[in-house]
Amino acid sequence: MCSFTVVYGQQASFEGVVRDAKQQVVPGVSVRLIELKRGKPSDAEGKFTFQGLKPGMYTLQASFVGYKTLQEKVNLVADKTLHLDLELVEASNDLKEIVVVGYVSQNEKPITIGKLLIKPMDLPQSVVTLDKSLLEAQQVNRMSDVLMNTNGVYIFGATGGYQEEIAARGFSMASSNTFKNGMRYANGMISELSGVEKVEILKGSAAILYGNVAAGGVLNLVTKKPKFNFGGEISLRTGSWGMYKPSVDVYGGLSQNIAVRLNASAEQANSFRVGVSSERVYVNPSILFKLSKKTELILEGDYLADQRTPDFGAGIINYQIVDIPRERFLGVAWSNIKSAQSSLNATLTHQINERWTVKWMSGLRQNSSNLFSNTRPNAGSLITSDGQWIRNLQKSEVEERYGISQLDFIGSLKVAGMKHQVLLGVDSDFYDTDTYAYNQFNRYDTVNVYSNALSSARNDQPAMTPLTKTMAPIRRFGIYAQDLIHLNEQWKVLAGIRYSYQQTLSDVYNYTTKKTTSSSNFDGAFSPRLGIVYKPSLNHAFFASYSNSFTLNTGVDINNQALPPSLIDQYEVGVKNDIWDGLVSVNVTAYRILNNNLAQNSLVNATTYSYVKEMAGSVQSEGIELDLMSKPVAGFSFSGGYSFNETKYVKSNTYIEGSLLKYNPRHTANVGIQFRHQGLQVGLTTVYIGERFAGRSTRVLVANDAYRLIALPAYLQADLTAGYTYKKMSLRARMANLGDVINYNVHDDNSVNPITPRNYSLTLTYGW
């Protein structure tokens, strides 16, 4: 059913919203003009817009899986805008889901992590969305697989082999920068992707939305949501070194207003590192309640338990990586780390009226880790030139509880003839972290890293005595407002501001002295944002933006006062293009990130205490990014990109000015090619990681400083995937690291983890 009214505008165009029979908006509907062979999907609010059209009669077609295709004639009149209300009717037959790959360009995918659903063409910021079809085709299993499709966002470390450390634009993405369904998750353990449907990356500053996040960007994992039609799949993946991973995904409606979904998987595997193994269990249940025509509630649970062998990789001698076989494991045989993370979050969405929506999200998370292993090579005990290494032992336990509550008002209104997309929000969250440290067990044994025969190795597991318990509660509060102002069809302005307040406490109990040392810090900061977009046409946009973020500091100044936050300025300019009738998206972005008040050791009165600091340093990150993505042509689709980044000390009394910060490659690039024909799929994905540095930066304050950087060579990795689907069965194969490239992720000079050599996986799936 289609109804419409005519309102005056500046040119022949039309806009509308798609709803179902219950008057719920329907996102992702394919809306096309048959005569022009042009189309676009409805956004997350069910809305779509076509502009810059010649007056005349057109055939409008709206189609979506599970609904009857709607086709209507519409007459566009010069200097008028046609407003359409489309209602889709459910199909009577039981249609199965059809995935249309590559139809939506990168510039047509609004991201939920941005809170305000702005079309990427209207957003003065770089965004990347990796959807379900791409993740499935590439058979991703770890975050490193996902990030083969991005540039400027990369894995920079894998400390202990039990985490994947992510960076963007020269800055580490710690747990404050990683989200799952809009709620922070702890990324100190390897992410599980079997329940993920989409990965969103918002590059650059997101402080206005989330407070004290690092300047490089934020990442959001969107899990699979409940559906009212019954379906699902079971699969079994096997691979190199005994990897075995069954998984299940089941969804369906319990009633007209309640739908559920359950994703679950289990995995166990050995490693190319002899003596290293892992096992994990993952469960992701969710339930959707349609409380009314305008209100829905979704509850989502997430549980991951992971147990594996800590592996700090090869050693370093005199700031050179030890040349030993990459399969050789140097750790204590019984080393173990157990990690678990569980969360529950609720999202309530209510459409107040056609223009205003209120969204409330609240969640709780609990995570823990228990590490008992050898210490890192060179962390307290250096490997001698002949390979002798005295192994010490370490033990630690961490328990963290996190909670958040967030309320957003999202509106669309017209003032003085200008359209406004408004976001008003408030959030509050807390961290309660308990960290247990143990006295290090020194001189456990001595081994030679060049020898296969570790005859002198001990195998007993000694008792270790507790040293300290650190309790570090954090309380945060933020209030923010943002407005995307459509001055006209060509000019847009995005403006907003946030105020954040954080209270950080610390109580350190010493088991030896039986005393507690306490400290506290209270910080507040404003985070403004201003961006301008100029669109000379529907398919081209130029933008410029300024934003400000902050990072908290520890320590005190020379007057024994707590340090204020470091404020970070970010400038970004770029152009977004959909060329050849939207067939290819070509986006170019340039940026500068500047921290002009970096905290560093104070030199006043020759102070040498590391906790006494001054806000006088400066770090600068500059770069340019190119992103390409095509829609399918004759079954072929293409994606790729290139990034140049230089992050360096501009001013420092601690390190050499002009020297590069560790871990950040100047050059990264990616190319992906996919071919699909009927049930066949073949793909090649490549990523290039340029030269970067680990080790330890030279200190200008230390005479004859022995610290040195370690240059890690560039490498190119290629993965090949293939799959075939016949009726309800599909078989997929993946060969990763085709060239069997040898390279390393290195943390400082003490965790040198080789990247995984050539390996394969096979996945058999049955769907219904």
Rounded CA gap, 236 and 246, in Å?
A: 4
Burial of 54 (0-12, 13-18, 19+ CB in 10 A): exposed
Rounded CA gap, 221 and 181, in Å?
A: 6
- Please say if the pLDDT value at position 12 is more than 80: no
Residues of the chain with CATH 2.170.130.10: 106-223
Residue 456: per-residue pLDDT: 64
The CATH homologous superfamily of the domain defined by 2-87: Carboxypeptidase-like, regulatory domain (2.60.40.1120)
Residue 94: per-residue pLDDT: 39
- Can you say how many angstroms the Cα of residue 33 is from the centroid of all Cα atoms in its chain? 35
| Percent of all residues in the chain with a pLDDT value above 70, rounded to a whole number | 93
- Please say if the pLDDT value at position 447 is more than 80: yes
- Please say if the pLDDT value at position 248 is more than 80: yes
Residue 25 CB neighbours (<10 A): 18
Rounded CA gap, 307 and 313, in Å?
A: 18
Least-confidence region, from 114-118, 179-183, 270-274, 404-408: 114-118
- For 384-425, how does the pLDDT look when each residue is reduced to its tens digit (9 = 90+)? 999 999 999 999 999 999 999 999 999 999 888 899 999 999
User: Hey, what CATH topology would domain 106-223 get?
Assistant: Ferric Hydroxamate Uptake Protein; Chain A, domain 1 (2.170.130)
Least-confidence region, from 93-107, 272-286, 351-365: 93-107
Least-confidence region, from 268-272, 332-336, 565-569: 565-569
| Percent of all residues in the chain with a pLDDT value above 90, rounded to a whole number | 61
More confident residue, 303 or 582: 303
Span between the terminal Cα atoms of the chain, in Å: 30
- For 292-349, how does the pLDDT look when each residue is reduced to its tens digit (9 = 90+)? 989 999 999 999 999 999 999 988 998 999 999 999 999 999 999 999 999 999 999 9
Contact by Cβ (8 Å): 277, 257: no
DSSP letters, 481-505, are EEEEEE-SSSEEEEEEEEEEEEEEE
Rounded CA gap, 73 and 76, in Å?
A: 10
Sheet holding 165-168, edge to edge: 153-157, 165-168, 171-173
Q: Which residue has the tokens 């290629």?
A: 718
Phi, psi values for residue 133, rounded to 5°: -65, -40
Q: Name the pLDDT band for 602 (thresholds 50, 70, 90).
A: low
Residue 365: per-residue pLDDT: 97
Residues of the chain with CATH 2.60.40.1120: 2-87
- Mean pLDDT for 676-705 is 88
Residue 598: per-residue pLDDT: 79
Contact by Cβ (8 Å): 151, 627: yes
CATH class of 231-767: mainly beta
Residues of the chain with CATH 2.40.170.20: 231-767
Contact by Cβ (8 Å): 119, 51: no
Residue 430: per-residue pLDDT: 95
List Cβ<8 Å contacts ≥24 apart for 345-348: 345/181, 345/183, 345/299, 345/300, 346/297, 346/298, 346/299, 346/300, 347/181, 347/182, 347/297, 347/298, 347/300, 348/295, 348/296, 348/297
Residue 408: per-residue pLDDT: 96
- Please say if the pLDDT value at position 629 is more than 80: yes
Q: Name the pLDDT band for 378 (thresholds 50, 70, 90).
A: confident
Rounded CA gap, 617 and 650, in Å?
A: 8
What is the pLDDT of the chain when averaged over all its residues? 88
Residues 6+ apart with CB under 8 A from 54: 12, 76
- For 526-565, how does the pLDDT look when each residue is reduced to its tens digit (9 = 90+)? 999 999 999 999 889 999 999 998 888 777 777 777 777 8
- Please say if the pLDDT value at position 4 is more than 50: no
Write the CA distances from 620 to 171, 229, 594, 767, integer angstroms: 11, 52, 5, 50
Strands 217-223 and 153-157: unpaired
- Mean pLDDT for 161-165 is 92
**pTM for the full model?**
0.85
Nearest partner of 300 among 351, 253, 362, judged by Cα? 362
More confident residue, 763 or 89: 763
Torsion of CA 18, 19, 25, 28, to 10 degrees: -50
Rounded CA gap, 274 and 259, in Å?
A: 45
- Please say if the pLDDT value at position 707 is more than 90: no
- For 56-102, how does the pLDDT look when each residue is reduced to its tens digit (9 = 90+)? 888 888 887 667 788 888 888 777 777 787 888 766 443 333 333 33
Residue 104: per-residue pLDDT: 58
DSSP letters, 591-627, are EEEEEEEEEEE--GGG---TTBEEEEEEEEEEEEEEE
- Please say if the pLDDT value at position 652 is more than 70: yes
Residue 65: per-residue pLDDT: 65
Helices (H), 96-177: 132-138, 143-146
